Amino acid sequence: MSGERSRREAEDLQHQAEHIRPRRKMSVFGYMAVLFSVAFLLLLIAFFQQQRANDEAADALQKSQSTIESIQQLLDENKLLRAENEALKSEKEELQGQVTQLDSDRRTQNLNMEALLEEMAGQENALKAMDFFWQIDEAFALNRYNLCRTLIQEMGDLSQYLPNWKATENNRFSPAKRFEEIKQALG
């Protein structure tokens, strides 16, 4: 029995050895296949992560480049606006000079116009004074003294516009002196 038992044990051992070995071989190959699969999967994950990081970096670089272009455009636009501002300042100064000149010309014209108006008013008053003078002189010559006094009162301050110069060459009085002479004669 002991022989049979040892034989049985040997057979069992051999049977176990036969069954265990292929399993071991299979499990080592399976383990290696799993390890290679995991390693490949990790490499694949790392590759995709690297691709995503590269894409993000490319996007960031593109955004940075577009930002740089925008800044450059803004700088160029700023330069143009500064040049336009300087041109407008120069034009403004030129226009202010023209306005000052026009204002000065307008003031001169106003002064000239005022002088002309004063001269016209003086000439009109001189004409009225001369009209009164001839009426007074004629009334005095006709001995109509009351009419003379009335005309002198109506004449008022216009007597100051009577000319002091002689209009004729006959050495007669000027209209202003003749008026004073008539006024003194009327008393």
Q: Has residue 60 been placed in a domain? A: no
Q: Is pLDDT at 79 greater than 60 in this prediction?
A: yes
Query: What pLDDT does residue 174 have?
Result: 79
Q: Which CA distances in Å does 109 have to 99, 103, 122, 134? A: 15, 10, 19, 37
**How far is 115 from 108, CA to CA, in rounded Å?**
10
Q: Has residue 20 been placed in a domain? A: no
Q: What is the pLDDT of residues 103-156, one digit of tens each?
A: 999 899 888 888 888 888 888 888 888 888 888 888 888 888 888 889 888 888
How many residues appear in the chain?
187
**How far is 38 from 55, CA to CA, in rounded Å?**
25
Q: Which domain holds residue 130?
A: 117-186
Q: Has residue 56 been placed in a domain? A: no
**For 45-49, what is the mean pLDDT?**
94
Q: Has residue 182 been placed in a domain? A: yes
Q: Has residue 83 been placed in a domain? A: no
The pTM (predicted TM-score) of the whole model is: 0.45
Q: Are 166 and 174 in contact (CB under 8 A)?
A: yes
Q: Has residue 163 been placed in a domain? A: yes
**Listed ranges 27-36, 51-60, 147-156; the one with the highest mean pLDDT:** 51-60
Q: Has residue 128 been placed in a domain? A: yes
Q: Has residue 180 been placed in a domain? A: yes
Specify the number of domains making up the chain.
1
